[in-house]
Chains A and B, each alone.
Chain A
Amino acid sequence: MTLLQISEPGQSPDPHQRRIAVGIDLGTTNSLVAALRHGVAECLPDAMGRAILPSAVRYLEGGRRQIGHDALAAQADDPLDTVVSVKRLMGRELADVVGRERLPYRFVDRPGMVAIETRDGMKTPVEVSAEILAALRQRAEDSFGTDELFGAVITVPAYFDDAQRQATKDAARLARLNVLRLINEPTAAAVAYGLDNASEGLYAVYDLGGGTFDISLLRLTQGVFEVVSTGGDAALGGDDFDAALAEWALAQTGRRATTPRDQRALLVAARAAKEALTDAPSATLTCALSGGPIALPVTRAQFDALTRGLVERTLAAARQVLRDGGVSRADVKGVVMVGGSTRMPAVRTAVGEFFGREPLVNLNPDEVVAVGAAIQANALAGNSRDGEILLLDVIPLSLGIETMGGLVERIIERNSTIPVAKAQDFTTFKDGQTAMALHVVQGERELVADCRSLARFELRGIPPMVAGAARIRVTFEVDADGLLAVLARELTSGVEAKVAVKPSYGLADEDIARMLKAGFGAADADAAVRSLREARVEAERMVLATRAALAADGEMLDADERAAIEAQIAHVETVARSDDHHAIDDAIKALADATEAFAAMRMNRGIRNALAGRSVEDI
């Protein structure tokens, strides 16, 4: 007789097999990885005990590279081939990159996304970001002594548009990370704070990082983090404070910084002076430029005056977010400060005055996002108790489609809770028209020219009809990662033509496959061995999930239905012992198909139970 293990619903059968899931803050200036250890979410340090990995990648001869502190140290000496603040380039064309004239790189102007020419060849921002992510993955694997992370939650600025999110997800795939979810940085920070402080009510998260600014309003209710509204500026951060100080220094001294090396050295010196001014009322900006050294005293008051406009821009975004949320400053119970740039005294003072209360700064502003992401990653991996926390996030910018005359027809409004899907019907304007060009845009303005273009595609095969007779239903679907898919379908004729698009900034699957084949990130991995191992991990994951589902709700099935599923489980387990990863993939697919109806039954029961016992009167 076989003894069967029956586990708690929602728990993995073997409590010792806790899945290792990490949270990653992929920042403009610094990146971090965090995970739960001994029940506490904490940032994982490198071998030298440093939690922060500077988001810097230096390309060397012969395909070698330096990542992090070493690359950062070399940036002034090797500015062309040392990429910093790459996050500002993610999902951007060259013309969209704010302040590109100040950057030393050899840019390659490509459609979709800018790239950088290095001594190791052309690198896209996605590839550069993947280097940073791969370094953090390696660090996490070393920390836990494993070579298989279950997955990662990666944070993005709430104000990132679709192209930037897609680029981030592509970078993670390149770094061989299983992305459990992309979550917004302010939401992650709120999770870290919320769990520590058991807070309820309306909170603002003010997140000023190296290159991006976000402000979000969240309502916390019994473990549910509901984003009410969000806003910000995807190109405003500490870098801009450095640049303002650097320009001022040049003007004061009548000097010029024309070479890439001088430009980079000056920015490094400005950043050091800015950081010194956080603790001291005055500092000296010292920099060795090619025309001779600079040593320029600067006071905090001078610095604050120089950067007041930047701080004011963040407060304007805060006003907009309050308006969008339909709330006033007085409704806000607390303000959470996130991002290294919130260490600047002028920023803290301005935010405190704006909200009329002292901002919360008791968690490390550099680490709080990664810590929150780790908590969510652990929950998504199925390690935490059921229903512990739930994040209900929103899309930051409206999504729409171009109509006649270059106008935007909005389909999904900004601040809609995700996941969300919405359809809109369009028609032809010419007799016999058999194709229709669709242009997907993101933004709040009424003219297409003022919005960001996300994708263009054509719906073909519309049967010829008189103008206005065709009914083309365009469906926008934004998933829980905040990523958009668009579907168009002609309804009247029974002839169905449909096409799903991903935004043009995202890499095609073939691109990813090619880059992975090129030996990206993990140099040791042989592709076939990798595929086999990944297939086996997936097989194990599916079997565990199915067993847990059977243990929890198996009585919903009759004997035949249950036997059919058990047979597929057994099949997966058998095939998983072979070396044929295609066969394993097929077996996993067969198991998924066999459990589809069961999954639907469980889902319906779950929904029914959600409101069970709650009559209309007593919620």
Chain B
Amino acid sequence: MNITDNDFVLFGLPECFALDRPDLDARWRKLQASAHPDKFAAEGPAAQRMAMQWSVRINEAYRRLREPLTRAAYLCELRGAPIEAQSNTTMPADFLMQQMSWREALDDAANDAELAALDDEVRTTERALLAQLAELLDERHAPALAAERVRALMFIAKFRADLSRRAEATQD
């Protein structure tokens, strides 16, 4: 075990997208129970510094594995298809059209009901993309295609944040 091991190795998990959340949580608690700086509070500064580094690393890995989007992005990168969201905007072709029509729908939405309907639609697509990710990563081993879905999901995450801001604004 090494602090530079990848997240899956650190958590003793197979390198795949499918994940049992309660199991992940239990592993996180076990790891923190052995690495947290509190466990070394009575020891010297060297041990505390080391505990801090490990504890930070475990929290970082836990956060990344916990969220399906960051977990998928991490897997793509491990398998040679980094997301590079800033420079690479490759997404599924039909999703680009979808994106434009959602943007228009958001601009045109006149009330809470229309915003809620749009949010429902976006969430349905989000669920479908996540299901595709599981298949592309765990069964077809197609990281480049998975990376396209990850970019689409990143757009959705941003879009839903815009949506909820709009919803809050119309409530005020």
Contact = CB atoms under 8 A, between A and B. Distances in A.
Contact of B32 (A12, A392, A541, A616): A392
Most B CB contacts (10 A, CB to CB) among A181, A479, A610 go to A610
Contact of A599 (B14, B26, B46): B46
A391 B52 contact: no
Nearest to A549: B43
B151 to A, nearest CB: 20
A551 interface: no
Given A603-B51, A604-B1, A610 B46 contact: no
B41 A616 contact: no
B46 A477 contact: no
A49 B159 CA distance: 61
Contacts of B42: 12, 19, 380-382, 541, 545
Most A CB contacts (10 A, CB to CB) among B32, B35, B41 go to B41
Please give me the 5 A-B residue pairs with the lowest Cβ-Cβ distance, nearest first.
A382-B42, A380-B41, A610-B34, A608-B1, A606-B34
Contact of A616 (B2, B13, B31, B59): B13
Given A224-B33, A391-B38, A607-B31, A480 B52 contact: yes
A614 B27 contact: yes
Interface string A196-239: 00000000000000000000000001101010000000000000
Nearest to B47: A599
B23 interface: yes
A479 B46 CA distance: 15
Most A CB contacts (10 A, CB to CB) among B26, B31, B42, B43 go to B42
Interface string B51-81: 1101110011011000000000000000000
B41 A604 contact: no
Interface stretch (A101-109, A113-121, A362-370, A416-424): A416-424
Contacts of A387: 33
Contacts of A616: 12-14
A421 B60 contact: yes
Nearest to B10: A607
B127 interface: no
A467 B12 CA distance: 44
A411 interface: no
Interface secondary structure of A, over-half rule: mixed
A151 B31 CA distance: 26
A509 to B, nearest CB: 16
Most A CB contacts (10 A, CB to CB) among B36, B56, B59 go to B56
Contacts of B37: 419, 479-480
B103 interface: no
Contacts of A181: 38, 41
Contacts of B60: 420-422
Most A CB contacts (10 A, CB to CB) among B34, B52, B59 go to B34
Contacts of B105: none
B44 A595 contact: yes
A183 to B, nearest CB: 9
14 contacts: A222-B29, A224-B29, A224-B33, A418-B59, A419-B37, A591-B44, A592-B45, A596-B46, A600-B50, A602-B47, A604-B2, A609-B34, A614-B30, A616-B13
Contacts of B55: 419, 480
Contacts of A180: 41
A438 to B, nearest CB: 21
Contacts of A422: 60
Interface of A: 12, 19, 151, 180-181, 221-222, 224, 226, 376, 379-382, 387, 390-392, 416-422, 477, 479-480, 541-542, 545-546, 549, 591-593, 595-596, 599-600, 602-604, 606-611, 614, 616, 619
B52 to A, nearest CB: 5
Contact of A611 (B12, B50, B52, B62): B12
Most B CB contacts (10 A, CB to CB) among A151, A221, A619 go to A619
A421 B56 contact: yes
Contacts, number: 118
Contacts of A607: 1, 31, 34-35, 54
Contacts of B29: 221-222, 224, 226, 390, 392
Most B CB contacts (10 A, CB to CB) among A376, A545, A606 go to A606
Nearest to B14: A616
B43 A545 contact: yes
A477 B60 CA distance: 12
Given A419-B56, A604-B1, 12 more contacts: A181-B38, A222-B29, A224-B32, A382-B41, A421-B56, A549-B43, A592-B44, A603-B54, A607-B1, A607-B54, A610-B33, A611-B30
A222 B60 CA distance: 23
Most A CB contacts (10 A, CB to CB) among B2, B29, B31, B44 go to B44
Nearest to A542: B44
B91 to A, nearest CB: 24
Contacts of B63: 416-417
Most B CB contacts (10 A, CB to CB) among A380, A419, A422 go to A419
Contacts of A549: 43, 47
A420 B55 CA distance: 8
Contacts of A380: 38, 41-42
A188 to B, nearest CB: 13
Contacts of B11: 611
B70 to A, nearest CB: 13
A131 B76 CA distance: 56
A557 B123 CA distance: 56
A557 to B, nearest CB: 15
Contacts of A477: 56
B161 to A, nearest CB: 11
A64 B38 CA distance: 38
B41 A610 contact: no
Contacts of A12: 42
B119 to A, nearest CB: 15
A610 B30 contact: yes
Nearest to B12: A611
B14 to A, nearest CB: 6
A245 to B, nearest CB: 32
Nearest to A417: B59
A480 B1 contact: no
Contacts of B26: 221, 619
Contacts of A614: 12, 27, 30
B36 A420 contact: no
